[in-house]
Amino acid sequence: MKFIYLTCNISKLEQVLELLKAQGSKSYQVIENVNGVQPSGNPRMNDAVWPGSNSVVFIQAANDETDRLFQCLKGINRDIVNESERILAVSWDCEKVLYFDENGGAE
**Mean pLDDT computed over 14-33:** 97
Q: Residue 106: pLDDT above 70?
A: no
Per-residue pLDDT, 104? 65
pLDDT over 70 percentage in the chain? 96
Confidence of residue 101 (pLDDT cuts 50, 70, 90): confident
pTM comes to: 0.90
**pLDDT, average across residues 2-23:** 97
Question: What is the CATH T-level fold of the domain 2-93, as seen in this structure?
Answer: Alpha-Beta Plaits (3.30.70)
Q: Is residue 94 a contact partner of residue 2, using CB atoms and an 8 Å limit?
A: yes
